[in-house]
């Protein structure tokens, strides 16, 4: 797998999001997407599958991190917070439509999006009394 820090995704996000709304043209991988989401949230595999596709539909261009080449295909990595959990999302397009390879917590520390947002496994607690998160 080749990782490439690129200013823009290789796949059109709006196209992937449209496919996420059509269950006939999307595939969510079990091992790195459905199963970790199910385990992390304590929900069924069917609910986790739906949750993953809903996450894809909520992403914005500002959530983009980098792209990865797997074989002859390019996949885009996004990072976001949802329900106070940080998510690493790797997705792209294959012959069948949307392919979500990964949807799990960030495993290598912090992810930094093109917008400069830092995404960790869980959202840092809000500071108390006007202090900073590091207080």
Full DSSP string of 44-110: -HHHHHHHHHHHHHH--GGGEEEEEEETTEEEEEEEEEETTEEEEEEEEEETTEEEEEEEE--SSS-
What is the predicted pLDDT for the residue at 15? 96
Name the maximum alpha-carbon separation found in the chain. 53
Domains in the chain, ordered, with CATH? 2-119 (3.30.2310.40)
Q: Is pLDDT larger for residue 70 or for residue 130?
A: 70
Strands 85-94 and 73-82: antiparallel
Burial code (b: 16+ CB inside 10 Å, e: under 16) for 3-17 equals eeeeeebebebeebb
- CB-count burial class (<10 Å; 0-12, 13-18, 19+) for 103: buried
Which of 135, 117, 49, 37 is closest to 83 using CA atoms? Answer: 37
Average pLDDT over residues 32-54: 98
Question: Which segment of 6-10, 102-106, 125-129 scores lowest on mean pLDDT?
Answer: 125-129
Instruction: Please provide the distance, in angstroms rounded to a whole number, between the alpha carbons at the two ends of the chain.
Output: 39
> What is the H or E stretch that residue 37 is in?
helix 35-41
What is the predicted pLDDT for the residue at 1? 60
61-110 residue pLDDT tens: 999 999 998 888 899 999 999 999 999 999 999 989 999 999 999 998 89
Average pLDDT over residues 8-28: 94
């Amino acid at each position: 797998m080749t990782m490439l820090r690129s200013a823009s995704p290789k796949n059109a996000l709006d196209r992937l999001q449209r496919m996420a709304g059509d269950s006939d043209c999307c595939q969510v991988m079990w091992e790195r997407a459905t199963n970790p989401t199910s385990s992390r949230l304590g929900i069924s595999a069917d609910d986790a599958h739906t949750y993953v596709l809903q996450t894809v539909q909520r992403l914005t261009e500002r959530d983009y991190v980098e792209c990865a080449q797997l074989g002859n295909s390019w996949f885009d990595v996004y990072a976001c917070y949802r329900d106070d959990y940080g998510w690493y999302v790797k997705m792209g397009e294959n012959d069948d439509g949307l392919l979500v390879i990964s949807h799990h917590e960030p495993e290598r520390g912090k992810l930094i999006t093109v917008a400069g947002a830092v995404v960790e496994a869980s959202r840092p607690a809000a500071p108390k009394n006007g202090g900073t998160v590091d207080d």
